[in-house]
Amino acid sequence: MWMSGGRSHVRFTVTSLTHRLETPLPRKLIQPACPHTLFDSSCTLIKATFVVTKNIQAGSTQTLLIPSVAFAQPDGYFDLGTGTFTSGQNNGFSFTIKRHISGQLQLHVPLPFVVSAGDAFTCYPGCDKLQNTCQNKFNNVANFGGMPYIPVPETAL
């Protein structure tokens, strides 16, 4: 309800209670996976502390990036992560990492332009929103927002 008025008149604007049907429910979704986005205010991790900068090696393609110097991180570290080119024809273009295996990054979507040896990029790890990942990969289990111990729907009574 909204109200305005003066000394000799009053104006009311009234809405019906059906406007409450626009409220998303449930307000907090109960799920095993973490609802936070990696590096957001609820996750609390600082994105800049996880940045890795690399250059492209010859043999890379628009869907496979081979760094000139091997990653120090183990396979799978950058799975579901993101990156951005900082030089070359793809300068400023961001990409999503599908898999990080054998020191190479497989991309979800091909890059718009051909990559060249020496092109630079930055990349960040990804998160699969599981408690193990939050604890072992990011040491951030205190901010894990999921509920991994709830029973699956098939076993709940």
Say if 45 falls within a structural domain. Answer: no
Where residue 111 sits, what CATH number does that domain have? 2.40.10
pLDDT score at 155? 64
Render pLDDT for 102-157 as a digit per residue (tens, 0 to 9): 999 999 999 999 999 999 999 999 999 999 999 999 999 999 999 998 887 776 55
Domain span at residue 134? Answer: 52-140
pLDDT score at 111? 96
Say if 70 falls within a structural domain. Answer: yes
pLDDT score at 100? 97
Strands 64-65, 52-55: parallel, antiparallel or unpaired by DSSP?
Answer: unpaired
Say if 108 falls within a structural domain. Answer: yes
Render pLDDT for 1-55 as a digit per residue (tens, 0 to 9): 556 777 788 887 778 888 788 887 777 778 889 999 999 999 999 999 999 999 9
State the burial class of residue 33 (Cβ atoms within 10 Å of its Cβ: 0-12, 13-18, 19+). Answer: middle
Say if 150 falls within a structural domain. Answer: no
pLDDT score at 157? 57
Say if 36 falls within a structural domain. Answer: no
Say if 154 falls within a structural domain. Answer: no
Residue 19: C-alpha distances to residues 11, 22, 88 (Å): 20, 6, 52
Q: Where are the beta strands (DSSP E) in 26-119?
A: 52-55, 64-65, 82-85, 94-101, 104-107
Render pLDDT for 57-105 as a digit per residue (tens, 0 to 9): 999 999 999 999 999 999 999 999 999 999 999 999 999 999 999 999 9
Dihedral pair phi/psi, residue 135, rounded to 5°? -80, -50
Q: Distance (Å, rounded) from C-alpha 86 to C-alpha 70?
A: 18
* Placement of tokens 């790890």 in the chain: 125
Give the CB-side neighbour count of residue 33, counting CA atoms within 13 A.
Answer: 7
Say if 21 falls within a structural domain. Answer: no
pLDDT score at 131? 95
Say if 39 falls within a structural domain. Answer: no
- Tell me how many domains the chain contains: 1
